[in-house]
Chain A
Amino acid sequence: MKLTLKIWRQAGPDAKGAMVDYPIDGISEDMSFLEMLDVLNDKLIREGQDPVAFDHDCREGICGMCSLYINGRPHGPERHITTCQLHMRKFKDGDTIYVEPWRSAAFPVIKDLAVDRGAFDRIQAAGGFVSVNTMGNLVDANALPVPKAHSDKAFDAAACIGCGACVAACPNGSAMLFVSAKVSQYALLPQGRPEAKERALNMVEQMDAEGFGNCTNIGACSIECPKDISLENIARLNREYLVAEMTKES
């Protein structure tokens, strides 16, 4: 397979970036997209050029580290997979492929295609937890039954891998799908209820402070989410937050 890659190159956080063309040959359809980039980097290194920086780790679609905007879509053309799960058989010989980093004010570029998603960690630290210490003397796990339906929905929300494709896809650069998935997981479980209000308020406050855009219910986030997180979660966050805002004590 012979391809033309158009890749965003940016030397550092403050450097000016540009799209650069790279012709590449000898790509097998069994390769994953990232293996194709490995081949490119191998070539660049041998030619004495700087290889393309991109984030990746598990290469099996669960760690959430890979993050490429491929041919105009986060994680490429296929639904419900991450970039590392995208294989070259989805492309044709002679294709031109655009590869860009996530674009968001809250995700500054570190180098080339690697961005800083620390904003997600800070949102999590603002309230994405149940305030329970490691306990020496525990309550039995089955002491508190959880309706299966709630537990299943909580799992659906908890499946989020924090990759940031929702932000990358959203024309507004909103992080609502990510935040709502976390808020929903805990809102649906009895363990998370005691802090539900503070959680919704604090996580949204942090989300806004990070410079993400506002959600206007466009829905691109959910379509592009590799884990198929539903817009229902955003509605749930809207509800949780509304109640919290209207009944908060201070």
Chain B
Amino acid sequence: MARQGLFGSSLIKKYWMALTGLFLISFLVVHAAVNAMIYFNDGGVTFNKWAHFMGTNLIIRTMEIVLFLGLILHVVDGIILTRQNRAARPTRYAYSQPNANSKWYSRSMAILGILILLFLIVHLWHFWVPSRHIVGSLEPYGVDAAGQDNLFALMQLVFSNPVPVVIYVLGCFALFWHLLHGFKSAFQSLGLNHRRYNGLIAGVGTAFSIIVPVLFASMPVSMYLGLVK
């Protein structure tokens, strides 16, 4: 049985995984940059300004749709891959020592992906849903010093409770492991492997996998601790 179409062969699936993965990585950069505006510590004025821009700019809103499509593709592709991979080994080994030849997070991309997805649902429910007026709106949180919609205030509210803070930090851990494999892996999948650059790709990948999740995790923590006001 030849596999045809969008998810065609095992390699086409692999390319989609890599391309959507890299696309989602590029989104993480933008998202982290915008969110980092809270560290201006100006009562959320700069942050809210950018949040407003992100919520209203036509190009950004279009890209938001593309982003969701990319995410869905990444998830669906991941589900197909995982199901096929499980079917490829119907009888498990009675005794296996996988740590001798590979990293646990490389083998656990599906489970890490599910954790990230669950976190994402919570995260979207917290911020994206009200800010896009899907259910409710940002109105209850008033306006900031510059008279803008106050997404910042909503953040403060959410992160005043330790439960979401812990969930967000755990989500960032999942993201860290997912990226640690995913970043390098995307390059390998696209055939970008050369002895001269492998070290660079691995180094940048590891740095990225640490910096971005740490930056994200720092936000709820610093809000909870009142470091950002």
Q: Residues on A close to B: CB < 8 A?
A: 6, 8, 17, 19, 69, 71-73, 77, 98, 100, 103-106, 169, 171-174, 176, 204-205, 207-209, 211-220, 223-224, 231-232, 234-242, 245
Contact B1 A209 (CB under 8 A): yes
In the bound complex, CA of A33 to CA of B87 (Å): 31
Q: Which of B13, B91, B92, B190 has the most CB of A within 10 A?
A: B91
Contact B88 A213 (CB under 8 A): yes
Size band of the interface chain B makes with A: 35 or more
Specify which chain A residues have a CB less than 8 angstroms from the CB of B103 in the assembled complex: 218
Specify which chain B residues have a CB less than 8 angstroms from the CB of A100 in the assembled complex: 93-95
Contact B98 A220 (CB under 8 A): yes
Contact B188 A234 (CB under 8 A): yes
Is B107 engaged at the interface, CB distance under 8 Å to the other chain?
yes
Specify which chain A residues have a CB less than 8 angstroms from the CB of B200 in the assembled complex: none
Contact of A214 among B84, B89, B188, B192 (CB under 8 A): B84
Specify which chain B residues have a CB less than 8 angstroms from the CB of A69 in the assembled complex: 93, 96
Given contact pairs A214-B81, A214-B85, A224-B101, A204 touches B11 in the complex (Cβ within 8 A): yes
User: What's the dominant secondary structure at chain A's contact region?
Assistant: mixed
Is B185 engaged at the interface, CB distance under 8 Å to the other chain?
yes
In the bound complex, CA of A89 to CA of B116 (Å): 46
Chain A, residue nearest B90 (CB): A105
Chain B nearest CB from A233 CB (Å) reads: 9
Is B2 engaged at the interface, CB distance under 8 Å to the other chain?
yes
List 12 A-B residue pairs with CB atoms under 8 Å apart, sorted by A's residue number: A72-B100, A171-B102, A172-B89, A208-B2, A209-B1, A216-B17, A217-B185, A220-B101, A220-B102, A223-B100, A237-B191, A245-B11
Is B12 engaged at the interface, CB distance under 8 Å to the other chain?
yes
Contact of A217 among B2, B9, B188 (CB under 8 A): B188
Specify which chain A residues have a CB less than 8 angstroms from the CB of B192 in the assembled complex: 235
**Interface positions of B from 182 to 214, Cβ below 8 Å from A:** 184-185, 188-193, 195
Q: Residues on B close to A: CB < 8 A?
A: 1-3, 8-15, 17, 81, 84-85, 87-98, 100-103, 106-107, 109, 181, 184-185, 188-193, 195
Contact of B14 among A19, A224, A238 (CB under 8 A): A238
Contact B84 A213 (CB under 8 A): yes
Contact B10 A218 (CB under 8 A): no
Contact B3 A235 (CB under 8 A): no
Specify which chain B residues have a CB less than 8 angstroms from the CB of A105 in the assembled complex: 87-90
Contact B191 A239 (CB under 8 A): yes
Specify which chain B residues have a CB less than 8 angstroms from the CB of A235 in the assembled complex: 188, 191-193
Specify which chain B residues have a CB less than 8 angstroms from the CB of A103 in the assembled complex: 89, 91-93
In the bound complex, CA of A86 to CA of B166 (Å): 49
Q: Kindly list 19 other residue pairs between chains A and B, CB separation below 8 angstroms, not including A235-B192, A237-B11.
A: A72-B98, A73-B100, A98-B94, A105-B88, A172-B89, A173-B89, A204-B10, A205-B2, A208-B9, A213-B10, A213-B85, A215-B10, A219-B101, A220-B98, A223-B101, A231-B188, A235-B193, A242-B190, A245-B9
Contact A216 B101 (CB under 8 A): no
Chain B nearest CB from A135 CB (Å) reads: 33
Contact B12 A245 (CB under 8 A): yes
